[in-house]
Amino acid sequence: MRRILVVLLLLPLVTVLHSPAPAPTHHAARLAAGNLTLRAVRAGQGRPTLLLLHGYGESLVTWQGIFDRLARGRAVLAVDLPGFGLSDKPDAAYDYPTQLDRLTAVLDQTEGPVVVVGHSMGGQLAAGLALARPNRVLAAVLVAPAGDSVGLEGLVDSLGARGAAAIGWWEAARAWAIPVHAPAWLDDGPLAAYEPLSDPAYRVAATRVAEDFDFTALRGRFAQIRQPVLLIWGTLDPVVPYAVGERLVRELPCGSLVAFPRTFHRPQVAHPEEVAGAIEAFLARLGRPGACPFR
């Protein structure tokens, strides 16, 4: 009798251990960006297309919590920025104009109107796309975007070569905390074993971005964005302080600010359902081109 009870108690555990892992929801694609190749993931149909751009040192996995919800009823495309994730990492230029040109090549491969969605450095690049392609970019969602002011005690402004190299090593090492893979969500195929910490090119690229990229290149230019812009910010953001968002929303010709109390720099990760809901509500209010939905 005792043996039978032990078997019955262990049976659920054995079943779990031998259950096959669920198939990933998506399969990674490769996308051309000038002379580079980027990892990308696509889903959904319909217009507008949402183009999702992550921040410095991250990857498209940062959008995992909101990607599938946003793909209901519209096309969504997320990419790893050049130099990060599983995208190409040449020892080449990573200044703001060069990165913007690479992403403009991605934008030009999409059809119909596009809403750019960017976080941090990706938010700066999303804003840059809105300025560079007003005929293609219908609106923008900027999550704590760089481009105007960056906090961190002025660290970014005073980086030298040694500081940039240290950040490059740090970004590679922290991949264990912010992984570039999400196996249950995205099948990376032959690149599934890739790890930033063991790739010298990752450290070189992260260092070059820290050296080359001007994180304040859009200072004074947000007021030139004529499309509707939704700003999303954590009130405790130490990287791009919330006060920057409060100022930018006043400068934007057509802007609105959604704040997340007691939240740091990644509200899309901390509050995915709420962030997705805010983006969906914004998209639902978009009307004819040139109309501001906040008036």
**Percentage of the chain with pLDDT > 70?**
84
**DSSP category for residue 22:** P
Find out whether 69 and 42 touch, Cβ atoms under 8 Å.
no
Find out whether 245 and 233 touch, Cβ atoms under 8 Å.
yes
CA distances from 294 to 229, 252, 255, 288, 290 (A): 10, 12, 7, 13, 12
Other Cβ atoms less than 10 A from the Cβ of 2: the count is 6
- The pLDDT mean for the chain works out to 88
- pLDDT exceeds 60 at position 105: yes
Bond from prior residue into 48 cis (ω within 30 degrees of 0) = yes
> Is 21 part of a structural domain of the chain?
no
Q: Is 207 helix (H, G, I), strand (E, B) or coil?
A: helix
- Write out pLDDT tens, residues 154-167: 545 544 555 555 55
Q: Is 39 helix (H, G, I), strand (E, B) or coil?
A: strand
Residues 6+ apart with CB under 8 A from 194: 86, 180, 181, 188
> Is 12 part of a structural domain of the chain?
no
Other Cβ atoms less than 10 A from the Cβ of 7: the count is 10
Q: At what angle do helices 200-212 and 161-173 cross, to 10 degrees?
A: 130
Number of structural domains in the chain: 1
Specify the range with the lowest mean pLDDT, choosing from 64-73, 158-167, 273-282.
158-167
State the Cα–Cα distance between residues 101 and 2, nearest whole angstrom.
70
- pLDDT exceeds 60 at position 52: yes
Place of tokens 């099948």: 187
> Is 38 part of a structural domain of the chain?
yes
> Is 158 part of a structural domain of the chain?
yes
**DSSP category for residue 160:** -
> Is 98 part of a structural domain of the chain?
yes
Range of the domain at 44: 34-285
> Is 176 part of a structural domain of the chain?
yes
> Is 3 part of a structural domain of the chain?
no
Please give the model's pTM, rounded to 2 decimal places.
Answer: 0.88
> Is 224 part of a structural domain of the chain?
yes
Range 282-295 average pLDDT: 88
> Residue 166: its pLDDT value, please?
56
Place of tokens 């007691």: 262
Q: What letters, b where the CB count within 10 A reaches 16 and e where it falls short, cover 269-287?
A: bebbebbbebbbebbeebe
Other Cβ atoms less than 10 A from the Cβ of 105: the count is 16
pLDDT band at 291 (very low <50, low <70, confident <90, very high): confident
Report the CATH number that the domain containing residue 259 is assigned in CATH.
3.40.50.1820
- pLDDT exceeds 50 at position 244: yes
Give residue 232's Cα distance to chain centre: 13
State the Cα–Cα distance between residues 29 and 40, nearest whole angstrom.
5
Q: HSE (CB half, 13 Å, CA atoms) of 159?
A: 21
